[in-house]
Chain A
Amino acid sequence: MSERPGYFGKIAVAARTVAEGMAVTLAQYFRRPTTVQYPDRTRVPVVDSLPERYRGFLEVDMDVCTACKACERDCPIDVIAIDVEKRGDGRVMTRFDIDMGKCMYCGICVESCPVPAQAPGDAEPTKCIRMTREFEGATGEFSSLTFRFVEAGAPAPAYKHQKGTVPATPERGQIARAVRQRARAANPTAVRWSRVHQEGGALAELLAHDAVRARVAELAPGVTTELGPGALGAVIAGEALAKTDCGACGWPTCRAYAEAIAVGKERALHKCGPGGAKATRDVHLIVELARGATPDEAAMRAMAATLRRHR
């Protein structure tokens, strides 16, 4: 027990500690806040910033699944449902459903799977059933949370795994995204982004994650930040625009439009009529890459801009 301050001592202590506290908050006031503004004001899509071991949605690579049912057995809450049939001299799976709404994302199914796999871009080996970094599944209907990895009418044959081999598997997340989109297709309350994908059609194909990334990979070697305006204009005219010289964009030739964009005189990047959404997307990609954006950022911005203009 320490000596208690007297009347004036208490006043002094109160004044000092209050002033100290206020100094702490004022010092914090001038620092940069630590808020991350999900989902639209992040440097990269949040999905790409998560650690590799993040336990998001499950996905199953049906190409390497042996139908051993170990995951179904070991799941503590029985969210996996697998139906296996004998067909000919092999086995096929007619159903492989995982209820992601009930799943508790514990990862025990992954540990019990006997088939290792190596996905590109991962430092550590994964399995045939694995957790991904996808987590954006908010939907208005429970049924869209059941991921069906075997589509009706297309049973998947069981894979014959040789012990000791590590088969290749697609990039983690791809299958989950595809299955999630399929699950949402029947959902009338889907958010705007996935309505585009659900309606299908040209715009959805154009803006599919994989398509955009492939296009960025194609364009990136030819577009760097050191390109002069003339060279940049040539790339835009050559790769993105429709090459019809129709004048719909308000410029006499495609080349003129491209060069105006390259020097910054023309700010509207969507004007190519015959090029349509594809031209808009590609022009945005090229411009973003020339500004020094990473491939992911360029993809994100181009998709957002194209969606804005062409829905």
Chain B
Amino acid sequence: MGELILANETTGEEMVLNMGPQHPSTHGVIRFVIKTDGEIMREAVPDVGYLHRAIEHIAEKCTYEGFMPYTDRVDYVCAMPANHAWALAVEKLAGLEVPERAEYLRVITDELNRISSHCVALGAMAMDIGAITPFTYILREREYVNELLEMICGARLTYNYHRIGGVGWDMPAGWRDKVLAWCDHFAPVMDEFDRLITNNALFVARLANLAVIGAAEAIDFGLVGPNLRASGVDFDVRRDVPYSIYPKLRFEVPVGRGIVGTVGDAWDRYWVRAQEWRQSVAMVRQCLEQIDATEPEFWRAPKKLKPVGDAMARVEAARGDMSCYVVGDGGANAYRARFRTGSFNAMAIIREKSRGLMVADLVALIASLDVVAPEIDR
């Protein structure tokens, strides 16, 4: 870092700009040091760590059950899968079984949270490109999802819903009908969003052929989730490393096709998320049908949780493969917890792809990678 700032490499029209850590478009507190030649960038170097809260270290000071609220804060935009990852890892570690109803509830809330996280991602992307109205529409939808999740667990953002051994609450009366009503409401909204912004000529012109990431490059840089799938790599943890009751659900995995540009450009990353919405809605409907056949038990709380060993769990969060590795040494606290998140890896590719882009494109690139600062720094 230091050599970038101090060394006087600027010649001619080069400027060194500092974007962040407070900036409207960096999706959190992230800092970029940009060397530009007029409007074209030489390089944009990300500087992360502003949102580091030592969550993994806190896991060592906190019981396994007590750590669950902290996993919400690993990625507060998409907190349920983080809950799920921790629960899955500790259950693997301690050899616990989870009632089937709890699995269904976990998947329903995971998918609802995925939808609301994509709402933020796509809305923020549109807003960074300049269209503010789609953001307001999509946040309205996210409000509905927040209300639904508030009804089931009492909180709108930091849910603390999953538990070691199940989930915290069952569905309240009338919740399933409200979720189905919302799914019916959301279907035309997705189409409206496509009409408004996804296929808009200006939006496409901004994003098509921007920062094309090839499949091999994506794998080399460790991209996961929609970023990876947009580059043409057909991999989804829910289907390929299945967990919970995903094997019982029918869903497709959208993979980037380069419809308006090249495979792996920014528009593909946008498009993959827009298709994942629809799949998630279908999954929620299927779960709500299938959950009637399960037993009413929703939480098999372990009596004494002092496991020994290590375990790793992978879940498909909204931003990709979130892995949780936990080591237990027989105490009530974990010996080590490690979260691997998609946004951290996405930061590395920004420096590569930023060469030759314009500053406006850098904003579009960061938005298309759907980077959120809490996930990067934990």
Contacts and interface: CB of A to CB of B under 8 A. Distances in A.
A204 B65 CA distance: 43
A76 B172 contact: no
Contacts of B153: 53, 55
Contacts of B195: 20-21, 23-24
A107 B150 contact: no
Contacts of A76: 62-63, 66-67, 69-70
A105 B155 CA distance: 9
A123 B197 contact: no
Contact of A106 (B137, B150, B160): B160
A263 interface: no
Given A17-B201, A25-B196, A108 B150 contact: no
A247 to B, nearest CB: 54
Contacts of A107: 154, 160, 168
Contacts of A28: 133, 137
B133 to A, nearest CB: 6
A34 B189 CA distance: 15
A134 to B, nearest CB: 13
A24 B151 contact: no
A131 interface: yes
Nearest to B58: A76
Interface string B258-271: 11101000000000
A63 interface: no
B259 A54 contact: no
Contacts of A51: 150-151, 154, 172
Given A25-B133, A34-B140, A53-B169, A13 B192 contact: no
Given A74-B65, A76-B66, A21 B196 contact: yes
B158 interface: yes
A104 B69 contact: yes
B140 A53 contact: no
A17 B198 CA distance: 10
Given A51-B151, A54-B154, A21 B172 contact: no
Interface string A1-42: 110000000100110011011011100100000100000000
Contact of A10 (B143, B173, B201): B201
B199 interface: yes
A21 B197 contact: yes
Contact of B66 (A10, A108, A131): A108
Given A24-B192, A111-B168, A18 B200 contact: yes
B152 interface: yes
Given A2-B259, A76-B63, A104-B69, A17 B200 contact: yes
Given A10-B201, A76-B66, A106-B69, A55 B155 contact: yes
Interface in A136-189: none
B373 to A, nearest CB: 19
B105 interface: no
A205 interface: no
A104 B65 contact: no
Contacts of B158: 104-106
Contacts of B68: 106, 108
A52 interface: yes
Interface in B193-223: 195-197, 199-202
Interface string B39-56: 000000000000000000
Contacts of B143: 34
Nearest to A123: B173
Question: Which interface residue of B62, B152, B196 has the most chain A CB atoms within 10 A?
Answer: B196
Contacts of B70: 76
Interface string B135-151: 00100100100000011
A20 B199 CA distance: 10
29 contacts: A1-B258, A2-B259, A10-B201, A18-B200, A20-B200, A21-B197, A21-B200, A24-B195, A25-B133, A28-B133, A34-B140, A34-B143, A51-B154, A51-B172, A52-B172, A53-B150, A53-B151, A53-B154, A54-B150, A74-B65, A74-B66, A75-B66, A76-B62, A104-B158, A105-B158, A106-B158, A107-B154, A107-B160, A108-B160
Q: Which 6 pairs, one residue from A and one from B, show the smallest C-beta to C-beta distance?
A: A76-B66, A106-B69, A55-B154, A14-B201, A53-B154, A24-B196
Given A13-B201, A76-B67, A104-B69, 13 more contacts: A14-B202, A17-B200, A20-B200, A21-B195, A21-B197, A21-B200, A28-B133, A50-B150, A53-B152, A54-B154, A75-B66, A104-B158, A106-B158
